[in-house]
Amino acid sequence: MKGSKKMYKRKRFVIPVVILLLLIIVRAFLPYFVKNYVNDVLANIPGYYGQVDDIDISLIRGAYVIDNLYLNKVDAGSQVPFLDFKKTDISIEWKSLFKGRIVSEIIMTRPKVTYIFEDQKKEKADDPNLEDWTKALTDLVPIDINTLQVNNGKAAFVQLSADPNIDLHFDQIDLTAQNLSNVVSTDQKLPSVLNASAVSIGQGAVKLEGKMNLIKTIPDMDLSFSLENANARSLNDFTNHYAGIDFKNGNYNLYSEVAIADGFLKGYIKPMLVDAELIGKEDGFLETLWEGFVGFFKFVLKNHKNNTLATKVPLEGDLTDVQSDVWATIFNIFENAWINAFKGMTDDSINFEDAQKAAEK
């Protein structure tokens, strides 16, 4: 009888110790297994290669942190990663648990997306072996994403074959997207909220805001975008390469509104040049002649009261075949110059209901 009691006490002591040791072992090796899993996912994206440096596990928060994730094309001519994410924190969104939903939130710190024109143009859209890399990255998150936060990100378009190289980029990107999985049920057709800000090339102030419904196969959305007071000289590498002109001074603004309903898009893009001057002193004779020719038409077509050259490009159509109205774009140049100057702001002329009505037609 005494022996059985001692055996019972020993078991009562040993079992918790064994469980504790097993938990410690699992905790110690879990980052290793997760890292191997993530690297395996990245290594098996057709046409791409990538890896992560390290993964930290936080069982208490229900989270894991990915350090230094990068992804690039296999046949990329440059060594600049397509994706370079310094830190990605993926965790359970605890506040949603009280609403009966298990979803995740992602906080990305200093993520960088660099689109190298020469690398990416090699991709064939009809190649059946190429997989959508965004789906592979989404697979790294075991549960639906409800909140996405980006801190101090960067997105760049680079063309290395241009002389000098073209580098169009957005720095200091801060983005917050909430209720992506519709945890907070509302009567609104677009329950998810998006807000973002950034600094463009030429130190322009960028804002993006709107609402979405990502639950649908083709997401619905209503977005507005503005880029204001950027130095026009920052575009010289781009405009000189493609149009043979460069700016001596001036600013540029860009405004846009886009609504998508049931796969149908309706919106516009409104570019504006303010106090812009062409022809620099360093230009050669032929370049000066061409810029003088362009400058003459700019002089004729600009609004002299506020010294702006602007137009408004309407966009409408199915997402597989979005059309712009060329004649409306040309007319809008003359409207800004001679009839009524465009305002430096979004027009609030496009909303989700407009896209819905157009989709029904």
- Give the Cα separation of 147 and 94 in Å (integer): 11
DSSP string for 105-139: EEEEEEEEEEEEHHHHTT--TT-TT---HHHHHHT
**pLDDT of 73 above 90:** no
Amino acid 290: pLDDT: 47
Distances (CA, A) of 81 to 107, 114, 193, 258: 20, 7, 30, 30
Q: Which residue has the higher pLDDT, 34 or 232?
A: 232
pTM score: 0.81
Quote the distance between the C-alpha of residue 210 and its chain's center: 14
Three-state DSSP class for residue 229:
strand
Question: Which residue is listed with tokens 């059985």?
Answer: 4
Three-state DSSP class for residue 41:
helix
Contact 114, 84 (CB under 8 A): yes
Q: Which residue has the higher pLDDT, 193 or 285?
A: 193
Three-state DSSP class for residue 294:
helix
Q: Which of 88-97, 193-202, 231-240, 282-291 has the lowest mean pLDDT?
A: 282-291
Q: Which residue has the higher pLDDT, 24 or 41?
A: 41
pLDDT tens-place string over residues 19-32 = 666 666 656 667 78
Copy the structure tokens of residue 359. Answer: 């989709």
- Give the Cα separation of 52 and 68 in Å (integer): 5
Q: What is the mean pLDDT of residues 304-333?
A: 70
Question: Which residue is listed with tokens 């710190």?
Answer: 109
Closest CA to 171 of 193, 148, 194, 200: 200
Helices (H), the chain: 2-43, 94-97, 117-120, 133-138, 236-243, 285-301, 326-334, 352-360
Contact 82, 114 (CB under 8 A): yes
pLDDT tens-place string over residues 220-271 = 999 999 999 999 999 888 888 887 778 888 899 999 999 999 888 988 988 8
- Give the Cα separation of 352 and 211 in Å (integer): 9
Amino acid 12: pLDDT: 60
193 band by pLDDT with thresholds 50, 70 and 90:
very high
